[in-house]
Structure formats: C-alpha cells, structure tokens
Amino acid sequence: MSNPPTAAFVVVANRLPVDRVTLPGGRTAWRTSPGGLVSALKPVLQRNEGAWIGWHGAPAEELEPFVDDGLELVPVPLTHSEVEEYYEGFSNGTLWPLYHDVVAPPEFHREWWEAYVRVNRRFAQRAADVAERGGVVWVQDYQLQLVPAMLREMRPDLRIGFFLHIPFPPTELFQQMPWRRQILEGLLGADLVGFQHQGASQNFVRLVRQRVGHKTHRDTVYLPDGRLVTAGSFPISIDAESFEKLARDPATEQRADEIREELGAPKHVLLGIDRLDYTKGLRQRLRAFGELLAEGSIDLDDAVFVQVATPSRERVDQYKVLRDDIDRLVGRINGDVGRIGRVPITYLHSSYPKAEMAALYRAADIMVVTPLRDGMNLVAKEYVACRYDDQGALVLSEFAGAADELKQAYRVNPYDINGMKATLLQAMESPDREKSRRMRSMRKYVSEHDIDRWAKSFLDRLAGSETHHDKHPRP
C-alpha cells in the first residue's frame, strides 16, 4: 500500500461502508451503503480524521485508499478462495451458526480456519499501518475476532475496542469450536470487548476463566502481564430520528396507502422483513399464519402477510436449502388457502430502498419479528421508530436481543407454534388503546436510545477504561 493515511480513530470491519454502483454511461462510483453504523460513526470519523478499513466487495482486486463523502477508506483485498474460505466458509458456515444456538449445524474445516487467520492478520496489518501513535481502533464483528490480539502485538500503543454484533454462545456450545482458545485470546487483545447483551458478555468472561484460565472479577479480566480487559453490553440501535422523518414524509404515507390498497385493503396487514437467513424464524412464523387461516381462526378477507426476504449469502449451501424450503412453504400455503384475487402471503425475495421500507412499516398493522436467535434485530426498532402515530403492534421473539429493551412488544417463543398463533391473534384483536399504550412507551425508548448514544457509550467507555492494574501510565 503506498502512502497509507494516518488516523487517530480507525474502524475495522469486514466491509467498507460503500458499494460500487454503475452510473449511466458505464462509469462506476462509490455510494455509501445505507445503515446506522456508518451514519453513527461518520461524525466521529470526521472529527478525528478517522479511517475505515474493510473489504470493498470485489474479489481479487487491489485498490489504493480513497476518500468518499469525507470518509477515508482503506480497502483490504481478498482473493476468490479467501472469499470462499474466510467469508462464506469460516465466518458464515462455522461462526454464524455456532454463535446462533447451532440452529443450523456449523461446519469445521481446517482450511477455512487457516484462511480466517490469514485474512485477520491482513486486516490487523492494515490497521497497524494506518493508526496514529496512541490512536483508537474499533474492530467490528465476528469475521475479525483475531484482529485485536494481532494488532496489539504489532502496536501495543493503541487503545483497541471490539464489538460483536451477533450473540456470543453459551459455554456448552462454544466448546465445540476446535480453535476456541485462539478465538478467546484474539478477543482478549482488546481493552474493551462489547456485546449486544449482558448474557453474552457473561458467557465470554466465564469462558475466559474456564478455557484460558485468567482471573476474572465481574466484567473484568486480569491478564498475567498486568493488562486489564473489560467486557460489557452495549445494545445497538438505529438512527431513530431519520426513520421517523422518513415515515412522516407525505410521499411515504401515500406509498403506504397504495400498498394497503394493492393488498386489497384488509383489516390486518402483517409484515416480516428479514435477510433470508435460517436464524430469522421465517418458517415458523409463516406456518403459524398459514395454520390460523387453514383452521378458520382468521379470515382471508381480513388478514394478509407480506414477507420481504432480502437475498443473503446466496453461495452458502445452507442458504440455498433455506430458500428452496421457504419457496415451497409459501407455495403450499398460498395454494392451500388462497383464492382468485386473494393471496395470503405476498413473498418478495428482493431488497428495497429505505423509503419503500418505511412505507412498508407504515402500511403494517402487525410487525412480526420472530428470530430463533438474534444479536439485536434492528427491524423491530425501525418499525417502532416509524410508528409516530403510536399505532401498530410489534410481535417479537424473546430470543432477539431487542426483546430485552422493547418490553411492551407482544412476546413470542418462535419454537412454540401454538403460542405464536395465540399471540398473533391477541395482537390482531387488541383494542387500539392497548396497542398505542405499548407503542408509545417503546417509541420513547427507541428515540432516547439511538445509534449515536450507542456509539458514544462504547467509545466513552473505551476511552475511560483502565488498561492496567499495576499503575502503569496509560499508553
């Protein structure tokens, strides 16, 4: 890399926060990917002459650092086989299912692990090249769990934070991982290790005590060399204000009316929006809805389900199987209980602009979020932020991190189909007064606990955290 920029604040994530788009005329340009993380971190990056290190999305292409929309971006190259082994393989075929309660069987392959180590080292090296002396580096998510320790070895002067966006599994499941000790030691390179949930943080500290043998007290790990590592929970959130603004836009409201009309203006529009992922509980929720119709508990004239399933990880085998399963299930339910002019489940396997998402949230009477396990689930919070009228109901799995905060949701165990059917009926039949009482309190919570507050609380804690227990001066 020629002339690496230097930065006092560095974010390291699997992907850069930009996508390449082809303009009319064939030229390509970068467009900032939509998402709360980048909008929350952008001001911090700009204030601190920050840089973002990540893969740019195209295999086997080396790019020089570049600036986009005021952000200093440092691309990390990946070969075709690294995309297969590090990203699709170890990240999404091993870690993702293992960390989500093994709802699909994780695969353990030594060559995937070797690619994971190699790629993590490359990310760590880039961060070591870019970070200023004494700077702050914030590493994101499960694809990069070895980076903190690798980076600390290269640059002990840095203050290093790590945040895991997905759950951290209980010890019984984590033990399956052949490289469990290396992963724990990788994370222990950070000064602060953040999780979505207090339970995840506790799982981590317990594992460190049991597996690595370090002394721990509450959320602190005491390393033999005198260093301290703090673990903590930092539940992520959304840019609530911008969602509400979009929801209030008359164009959004008009589009929401159109959607309802096109669906045949039923009494209840139920909505699911998820990446097409086996952790999201799509199968369970569609079955519950299908059974309610089949047994006559709800009438097809009264209720329809819209399921947006955004294409995701399409080259990973388990995702191909899931897609076929859902295609078949939707086809079967629509075939069994649909009739001319009335389709029970409108299934959309595509992704939509944010404005269309907001219109869908506005059109939905009942938002159905039923993951089998989810670190947080931002869709639940986005729905709440869009309900400025305090209307609508959120049905939420108790296994989503969001359930800890959105306590007034209609709570379900997605494994309990009968329970889920009963709760869907309860949400549909609840009086408006009851629904708005619940929504008002959730909306207040989400607007006060937005993504800026999340980023600030992590970074303040990182800046203030003690790094040594033997009174060494801070780096």
Where do contacts with ligand GDG occur on this chain (CB under 6 A)?
Answer: 34, 165-166, 236, 273, 275, 310, 351-354, 357, 374-379, 382
CB of 433 to ligand GDG, least distance (A): 29
Separation CA 213–CA 208 (nearest Å)? 6
Q: How far is the CB of 350 from ligand GDG (least distance, A)?
A: 7
Residue type, 290: G
Q: Which of 86, 76, 88 is nearest to 11 (CA)?
A: 76
Report the nearest approach of ligand GDG to the CB of residue 318 (Å).
15
For ligand GDG, the closer of residues 72 and 405 by Cβ is: 405
Cβ distance to ligand GDG smaller for residue 86 or 168: 168
Q: List all residues 6 or more positions away from 285 whose beta carbon is below 8 Å from its beta carbon.
A: 272, 368, 370, 414, 420
Q: Which is nearer to ligand GDG, 95 or 124 (CB)?
A: 95
Distance of alpha carbon 49 from alpha carbon 470, whole angstroms: 32
DSSP code at position 169 = -
Helices 240-248 and 432-448: angle between axes, nearest 10 degrees: 130
Nearer to ligand GDG, 135 or 169 (CB): 169
Beta carbon of residue 210, minimum distance to ligand GDG (angstroms, whole number): 26
Q: Which residues pair with 194 in a beta bridge?
A: 163, 232
Length of the chain: 475
Q: First-to-last CA distance in the chain? A: 27
Least CB distance to ligand GDG at residue 214 (A): 27
CB of 356 to ligand GDG, least distance (A): 7
Decide: 19 and 31 in contact? Cβ < 8 Å: yes
- Which CB atom, from 222 or from 352, has the smaller least distance to ligand GDG? 352
> 155 vs 195, which CB is nearer to ligand GDG?
195
Angle at 163 between CA 159 and CA 169, to 5 degrees: 130
Cβ neighbors of 397 (< 8 A, separation 6 or more) are 281, 369, 370, 371, 372, 374, 377, 403, 411, 412, 413, 414
Residue 97: count of CB within 10 angstroms of its CB: 20
Q: Give the shortest CB-240-to-ligand GDG separation in angstroms.
A: 12
Least Å from the CB of residue 308 to ligand GDG: 6
Please tell me what DSSP assigns to residue 319: H
The H-assigned helical ranges of 188-316 are 198-207, 240-248, 250-262, 282-294
Q: Which two tokens mark 189?
A: 């390179």
Q: Kindly give, in sequence order, each residue whose CB lies less than 8 Å from that of residue 435, ignoring residues fewer than 6 positions away.
A: 390, 391, 392, 393, 427
Is the CB of 201 or the CB of 377 nearer to ligand GDG?
Answer: 377
> Do 246 and 356 meet the contact criterion of CB atoms below 8 Å apart?
no
Nearer to ligand GDG, 209 or 275 (CB): 275
Closest to ligand GDG by CB, 39 vs 125, is 39
Least distance CB 100 / ligand GDG (angstroms): 8
Looking at beta carbons only, is 199 or 338 nearer to ligand GDG? 199
The helix (run of H) or strand (run of E) holding residue 81 is: helix 80-82
Residue carrying the six token digits 């869908």: 360
Cβ neighbours around 192 below 10 Å, total: 26
Nearest distance, CB of residue 354 and ligand GDG, angstroms: 5
Tokens 């769990």: give the residue: 145
Q: How far is the CB of 97 from ligand GDG (least distance, A)?
A: 12
Classify 410 as helix, strand or coil: strand
Nearer to ligand GDG, 195 or 467 (CB): 195
